Homo-oligomer: A and B are copies of this chain.
Amino acid sequence: MLQPLGDRVIVEPLEGQDKSPGGIILPDTAKERPQEGKVIAVGPGALNDKGERVPLPVKEGDIVIFTEFGGTEIKVDGKKYLIVDERSLLAVKEA
């Protein structure tokens, strides 16, 4: 599998019946609208001024809302994923 670099995560976008029940509806009228997705892999975080990695605020399995802007689409074994940087992660769904 792919390991994201820096402050990036790999997200599996949730659409239609895969979406969280009771759930969140994200308007799809515009191009750079928010999306719902499941975090598949988490990068080590960006380096701060002291040379330390700043851990990302999400973990594998988290359901996140993110903006498509800044995300890069890839396909692994026929499945669509997005590589998204921290800045584009807006919120996380609490269990």
Q: How far is the CB of A95 from chain B (nearest CB, A)?
A: 10
Oligomer: number of copies: 7
Q: Which of chain A's residues 31-61 have a Cβ closer than 8 Å to chain B?
A: 33-34, 44, 47-52, 54, 57-58
Number of A interface residues in the complex (CB < 8 A): 43
Known: A10-B91, A90-B8, A90-B83. A76 touches B24 (CB 8 A): yes
Q: Which residues of B contact A1 (CB under 8 A)?
A: 93-94
Q: Is A18 an interface residue (CB 8 A)?
A: no
Binding site for B on A (CB under 8 A): 1-6, 8, 10, 22-27, 33-34, 44, 47-52, 54, 57-58, 65, 67, 72-78, 83, 86, 89-94
The 3 residue pairs across chains A and B that have the minimum distance between CB atoms: A25-B75, A2-B91, A83-B90
